[in-house]
Amino acid sequence: MSTTNPNQPPGPYAPGQHIMPPPRPSSPSTAEYRLNHLMMRIKDPAASLRFYNDCFGLHVVFIFNTGPWTIYYLGPRDVGMGTLGTSKGLLELYHIPADAETPYAHGNDYSVPNSVGFGHIGFTVPDAEQAVERVKSFGYEVIKPLGEARVAQMGVPGIKEESEVDEGYKDVFRKLAFVKDPDGYWVEIVPQVF
C-alpha cells in the first residue's frame, strides 16, 4: 500500500533504527479519540485481581455481573466512574464461567494452534528490577528476566541464529522483563528511564 502521509513512511525499514515520523496532522474528526482500555478473558477473578491490583497497582473501578459473565474494570487509582470516558490505561477483565474448559489463546505460543495474535500488555515502572522481584514474591512466573535477550524469549518463531536480531534491539530487550499473568498472558515490565 502506497502512502504519501509522512506519519506512515513506506518501508522497507533498516534494521536497528527507530523510525520517528512526524505526528499526524490534527483532525477535528478524531481530535478527542484515545485508546481507553483493553479487554481480556480470565479464568480466576481472585488470581487476576491479585496480579493486576497487587503486583501492578491498578484498582477495581467497578464490577458488573451481566448474568452470563462478570466484568471487572480496572484502572489507575485516580480513576473513578465519573472519569472512565476520559481515562487512559484501563483494563477490562471478563470472567465467563461457561469458558471453564475452553483454553484461552494468548498469542505467543506458536506450538498451540490458533494461538498467535495478541502478544502482551506492558506496564511502565520506575524500577524494573524491583517490579520483577515483586511479581516473583507473589508467586508468578518470570518468563524473560532482566538482562537477557535470547531470541527464544522474543515470542517470534523462525529465528535460527541470534545474529538475525539487531544488537540495538537486543540491548533494549535486556532492559525489559516479561511475566505471565494467571491466564498465561504475557505482561511486559518496562523501565520509565532507559
Question: Which residues are catalytic, by number?
Answer: 188
Please state, in angstroms and rounded to a whole number, the distance separating the CA atoms of residues 64 and 141: 29
Please state, in angstroms and rounded to a whole number, the distance separating the CA atoms of residues 28 and 151: 43
Residue length of the chain: 194
Please state, in angstroms and rounded to a whole number, the distance separating the CA atoms of residues 152 and 174: 13
For residue 182, cis peptide bond before it (omega within 30 degrees of 0):
no
Cα–chain center distance at 98: 25
3-state secondary structure of 168: helix
3-state secondary structure of 30: coil
Cα distances from 95 to residues 20, 43, 82, in angstroms, run 39, 6, 24
CA neighbor of 90 nearest in space, from 105, 75, 78, 80: 75
Cell numbers representing residue 98 in the block: 461457561
